[in-house]
Structure 1
Amino acid sequence: MQQNPSQRSIRALSAMNFSLADVRDGLGPFLGVFLIGHGWAADEIGYVMTLGGLAGMLATTPLGALVDATRFKRTIIAAAAGLIIVGTLALLISTNFWVVAGSQIGTSVFAAIIAPAIAGLTLGLVGQTGLARQLGRNQAWNHGGNVVSAILAGAFGYVFGLIAVFVLMIILAIASIISVYLIKPSEIDHDVARGLEPSAQHRNREPSSIVILLKSRALVVFGITIFLFHFGNAAMLPLLSQSVVSRGLADPSAYTSATIIIAQGTMIPMALIAAWVAQRRGFGIVVMAALIALPVRGLIAGYWDNPWALIPVQVLDGVGAGLLGVATPGMVARLLRGTGHVNLGIGGVMTMHNVGAALSPALGGFVAAHYGYANAFLALAAVATAALIFWAVGSRMEGKAYAATA
C-alpha cells in the first residue's frame, strides 16, 4: 500500500531527525574527552561506556516490541529525548564513577527506543513502497544535524569549553520534541508501522516475542553481522580523539568536532546513495559495501600515527555507518514484511548492535591502556574483518532470503 503523508508531516519527520542527531547519543564522542579532562584513564572510560551499552542492549528488544504494540510513538520519542538530557546533565553535577555509570545506563536505555520508534513512525507514514527512499532522507537529515551540531559544539566549545556541548543538547532536544508533535497523528497507519500488509490486518496480531525473531535464520545472520560490525567500529572514534587529546596534540572540542564533521558529512551522500541502490538492487549489497570499509579504517588508524589520520579514518566511518544506517531498518522491514513484528525485529537487531557497541570500548580501552592505541585500532580491525567474512559466507547461504528484499 502506498501512503501519501502530507508535506507537513514529512518535513516534521526530517526536522525531528535533524534535531535528534545531537540528542540520542548523549555526549557521544565528547564523553571521552570530557572524562579525560576530569582525570579518567582510557580503560575506565571504556568500562563505563560498556555499562551503558549493556543497559541499552537489554532494553532494546522489549522496547521494540513496545513500539509494535503502542499507538503513542510520537510521545515515546519526545519523552526519550527529554530524559536523555536529564541523564546527561547529571555529569555536570559529578564525575564520580557511579554517577557517570548511572548517567550512561539511563541515557542508553532511553536512547534504545528511539531507533525502532523512528523506524515504526516512518513505516507508518510512507509504507513499504516508500520506505527505502524515506530512510535515506531520514539518515541524510540526521547526519546533517550531526554536522551542524558538531560545528557549533566545536566553535562554542573552543570559546566557552565543553559546557557549550551541554547547552546545545538542551536546545536541540526542545526542537526535536516540537518537531515530533508537528507530525499529524491521523497520517500514521499503526498496522503498517508494525509490518502488517493491508490484506493481513486482522491476522498476526499476537504479542511480539523473541521466539519470532529466532525463526528467521536470515535475520539471525544479519543480526550477528551487525554485532560484529559495531564490535569493531564503536570504539574507533572515541579512541582516535583520546589518543590525540591525551598527548596534547589538539584542542579537545575542536578535534572531536572535526572527527564528527568529516564522518557525518560523508554519511549524508552515503545515506542517499544507499537508498538509491537499495531501491534497485536490495539492501544486501549495501551491507557488503559498509563492511568492506571498516577493516581498512582500522588499519589506517593503527598504522598512521598522526592527527591528520582522522581524515581518511572518518571518511571511511562515514561510508560504513552511512550505508548501514539505511540498510539496517530497511533490511529488517523487508525480511519481516507481513509478520506484524517489524519493530520487534529492529529492536532485536539493535540489541545486537548495542552488544557489539558495548563490548567495543572495553576491548579498545583495555588494549589501548596496556598495549598502546595503535594495537587497539588493529584489534578492532581484526573484529571488522571477521564481520566481513561472516556476512560473505552467511549471505551466500541465505541468498534467497536477501534477494527477496530487493
Structure 2
Amino acid sequence: MENPRQSAPYRSLDWLNFFLADVRDGLGPYLAIYLLAVHQWQPASIGLVMTIAGVTALLAQTPAGALIDRTPAKRAVVVIAAVLVTGSCVLLPFITSFTWVAVTQTVSALAGSVFAPAIAAISLGLTGPKAFTRRVGRNETFNHAGNAFSALLAGGLAYLYGPVVVFYLMAVLTVASVIAVAWVPGAAIDHHVARGLAHGPNDQDNPAGFALLLHNRTLLLFAICCALFHLANAAMLPLVSQKLSQVDLRLATPLTSACIVAAQLVMVPMALLVGARAEQWGRKPFMLVGFLILPLRGALYTLSDNPFWLVGVQLLDGIGAGIFGALFPIIVKDLTEGTGRFNVSLGALTAVFGLGAALSPGLAGFVVQAAGYNAAFLTLAGIAACAFVLVLVALPETHPRQGDAPSSSIPSAAGN
C-alpha cells in the first residue's frame, strides 16, 4: 500500500498521469482526420507519414530507457519532452508539405519515447517493487480518465470550431502537466529503486542494451507477443476515423472522440482490476483476456458502417488495451527486478512493440487502397489471432511467486 505520509507525491503523480494522457501520444487518431479533412491526403500517404514517425521513434526507445535509468532529473525530462511534443503538433496548421508534416511528427514521436519509462521509473522510485502493481493500476486509471476527459473536450470543441482546435487543447494540457510534475518532489524518488535495483546502487553505470534481452527467452517471447498485438491494434482506430470521415466529415472528429471516450471509460475499471488483482490472480489470465478481445474487435468492425455500431465496438478496445497497458510495465518489472535494468528493458520492449505499431498504419493503408476497409480490418484481426495463440500456448506466468521465476528472470547486472 502507498504510504499515507507521502500522499502529496502520489496525488501529484495522479494528476501528472491525468494531464499527460493526451500529450504523451501526440495527435494520435486526430492526425489522420486532420490530414484527410483539411489537406485531402490519401489513406496511403496518411499511413506512410505515421509509419515514418513511428519507425524513427524506435531508435530512441532503448536510449530513452537508459537515460531514465541514469538521470536523477526524471521530472525535467518529462517537461522537456511534453514541450517538444506539443510544439511539433502546434506547428501543423502552418505547414502543408508531406516532408514537413513527417518531420514534425517524427520530432513528436522521438520526444514521446521518454514518457513511458519516465512515469514507470518515478512510480517505482516512489512506491518500491511491492506496491508497484497497485501504483501502475492507479497510473493507468488516471491516464485513461485523462484521455476520456481530453477526448470529450476535443470532440465538443472540434464540432464548434473545427479539427484545428485539438492542437491548442494539447498546449493547455501540457502546461497542466508541467505544473503537476513540478509538484512531485524529487527527494521522494529513490533513483536506485527506480531503475530496478533491489539491493543498492551496484553496477548502476554499466551500459545495458539488447544483448541483455537475449538471455531471457520469456522476455523475448513477451516482446514478440507485444509486437503482434500493436501491429494489429494501432491502425484500427485511425481506420475507423477515416470511415467516419467518409460518412460525415463534420462529425468525424466528434465521433472519433466518442470512440476514444468509450474505450477510455472501459479502461478505467480494467486498470483498477489489474492493479488490485494481478498479485493474487497472476498476470497470464489477464493477458489471455486482453489478447482475445483484439481479433474479435477487428472482425466486428466489418459488420456495419453505422457510426453508432463503430463506437460501440470501440468499447472492446477498453478491455484489451486497458489490460495490456497496465500489465506491460508490471511484467517487465517481474523479469528485471534486482538487475538495475528496468527502464532500459522497458524502453527496449517498447521499441519492439513500437515497430509493430509503426508498421500497422502503413500496412492497413495499403490494404485499404488495394481491397477496401473490411479487408484491412480482417487482416489486422488475423494478426491479432496469431498473437493470442502465442500467449495461450507459449507465454508462461511471470509473477515471481506463481511462475517459474528463476528460469525466466534476467541474469543479474553483475553477470552482464
Q: Is TM > 0.5 for Structure 1 vs Structure 2?
A: yes
Equivalent residue number for residue 305 of structure 1 = 305
Q: Does 1:132 align with 2:136?
A: no
Q: Does 1:65 align with 2:102?
A: no
- Give 1:263's aligned amino acid: A
Distance 1:364 1:248 in 2: 21
Equivalent residue number for residue 165 of structure 1 = 166
Equivalent residue number for residue 123 of structure 1 = 124
Distance 1:145 1:398 in 2: 29
Residue aligned with 1:36, SS? helix
Equivalent residue number for residue 6 of structure 1 = 6
Equivalent residue number for residue 31 of structure 1 = 31
- Quick one: structure 1 residues 44 and 171, their matched pair in 2 at CA, closer, same or farther if it must change by over 3 Å? same
Over aligned residues, Cα RMSD in angstroms? 2.0
Distance 1:129 1:121 in 2: 15
Distance 1:282 1:398 in 2: 8
Equivalent residue number for residue 269 of structure 1 = 269
Distance 2:397 2:324 in 1: 21
Q: Does 1:387 align with 2:387?
A: yes
Q: Does 1:221 align with 2:221?
A: yes
Q: Which blocks of at least 5 consecutive residues in structure 2 are unaligned?
A: 406-416
Distance 1:139 1:2 in 2: 16
Equivalent residue number for residue 286 of structure 1 = 286
Equivalent residue number for residue 359 of structure 2 = 359
- Quick one: structure 1 residues 401 and 107, their matched pair in 2 at CA, closer, same or farther if it must change by over 3 Å? farther
Distance 1:194 1:4 in 2: 23
- Quick one: structure 1 residues 215 and 206, their matched pair in 2 at CA, closer, same or farther if it must change by over 3 Å? same
Equivalent residue number for residue 53 of structure 1 = 54
- Give 1:6's aligned amino acid: Q
Distance 1:133 1:329 in 2: 12
Q: Which blocks of at least 5 consecutive residues in structure 1 are unaligned?
A: none
1:84–1:106 contact (8 Å) kept in structure 2? yes
Residue aligned with 1:6, SS? helix
1:124–1:192 contact (8 Å) kept in structure 2? yes
Residue aligned with 1:251, SS? helix
Query: Identity of aligned pairs, percent?
Result: 41
TM-score after normalising by structure 1: 0.95
Residue aligned with 1:22, SS? helix
**Residue 358 (structure 1) shift:** 0.3
Which structure 2 residues correspond to residues 253-264 of structure 1 after superposition, within 5 A?
253-264=253-264
Deviates more, 1:384-393 or 1:75-84: 384-393
2:213–2:220 contact (8 Å) kept in structure 1? yes
Q: Does 1:323 align with 2:323?
A: yes
2:283–2:399 contact (8 Å) kept in structure 1? no
2:284–2:398 contact (8 Å) kept in structure 1? no
- Quick one: structure 1 residues 5 and 123, their matched pair in 2 at CA, closer, same or farther if it must change by over 3 Å? farther
- Give 1:54's aligned amino acid: V
Distance 1:293 1:172 in 2: 31
2:334–2:400 contact (8 Å) kept in structure 1? no
Q: Deviations over 1:65-84 (max 9, x none)?
A: 11111111100011100000
